[in-house]
Structure 1
């Protein structure tokens, strides 16, 4: 079983918001609201910075983009103090492991910050494989990172479930031909009914039973 990270297992938006505004302040640029930054999460750091620059009226194709990406990534590994797992995540991971599921993470967050926040939360050793947005030359919704995560787990797509919270995750699963479980309390902007999914849930205690039902 493979999970997205931000908006699925963890609520990292407060840390991403704080880090983004710290960088903007260093350049004398206006701060953005929490809801603005939260809506930019999910497609990786370069896209996050693109959306920030567009919102403040700067050129997202100009020289500031690469500089902000570099500076953001430099502080991303330590941007963990405000991040928490969603309610029920830890217990659900325990129950899935008890039922024999091998777990992985496939995220557009860079791999080092993904590992850093999981380690900070005491969750790193729960996952046998972790692929980030910089692990391959492509990011989700391209299905290649998901397939690579599944392969790293020693699994096959036909015996895998992908769990995510967003439009990007839904498209990734659809393009991979893998059942998708949609966590409804994350960062999606589209109504649940409009996203392709096999199962939608807002309570992590429901996930182990669903996984057992899918795979027997």
Structure 2
């Protein structure tokens, strides 16, 4: 049975915080609040998703309500989709390492809490969509990470099995997803929340994509 390496997207494969923050600030300007979030302060917030950005910004301006978050979430998604790749980039070495894993026989896919359509759009605009055989997003199934079902679905689409899978991510969501699915997790330390990853006690930490093939083979063996 094929062995598989599944990646989170935002904060793991690509730094997308700039475009996410721009979409959130579009909403805050529409509310008359100006640009509430900044790249210097809030990159980590951005990688927690649209609703989290709206929540943090509204709390910061004493305007929070769940109704406002829900009302502006579609606005944020629309704004993000219109300018999804102006300030986003793939982390150094990621695609070279992914091609190396594929050449060794590993199946490679993405399991993200970004809506599937936006994830597909972003990967295409970054020019890397064809590198991934499977893509499961936040709305592909009725549940999202940390429920293990999206990860299980990604692995199934790759033709793999859970005992021969590893999840690469950048957050407690990814750590908890892997734990719930009974697979090892590798958490990256080069993202905005990198200093917090060790406390989550993953099976491995990764500071550079060049380290990944050795870590994968140590955790699940050769393909």
- Quote the RMSD (CA, aligned, Å): 1.7
Matched residue, 1:85: 90
| Structure 1 residue runs of 4 or more that deviate by more than 6 Å after TM superposition | none
Structure 1's 114 and 16: CA in aligned 2 closer, same or farther, altered over 3 A? same
Matched residue, 1:3: 7
- State how 1:1-216 maps to structure 2 within 5 Å: 1-31=5-35, 32-62=37-67, 64-77=68-81, 78-188=83-193, 191-213=196-218, 214-216=220-222
Greater displacement, 132-141 / 104-113: 132-141
The number of residues matched between the two structures is 215
Task: Give the Cα separation in 2 of the matches to 1:189 and 1:212.
Answer: 23
**How far is 1:113 from its partner?**
1.2
Task: Give the Cα separation in 2 of the matches to 1:170 and 1:184.
Answer: 13
Task: Give the Cα separation in 2 of the matches to 1:55 and 1:9.
Answer: 29
Gaps of 5+ in 1: none
Task: Give the Cα separation in 2 of the matches to 1:52 and 1:58.
Answer: 8
Map Cα deviations across residues 81-118 of structure 1 (whole Å, 9 max, x no partner).
11000111111111111111111101111111111111
* Maintained 8 Å contact 2:152/2:181: yes
SS in 2 for 1:185: coil
* Maintained 8 Å contact 2:148/2:181: yes
TM-score, normalised via structure 1 length: 0.92
Map Cα deviations across residues 115-169 of structure 1 (whole Å, 9 max, x no partner).
1111111110111111111222222112121111112212111011100011111
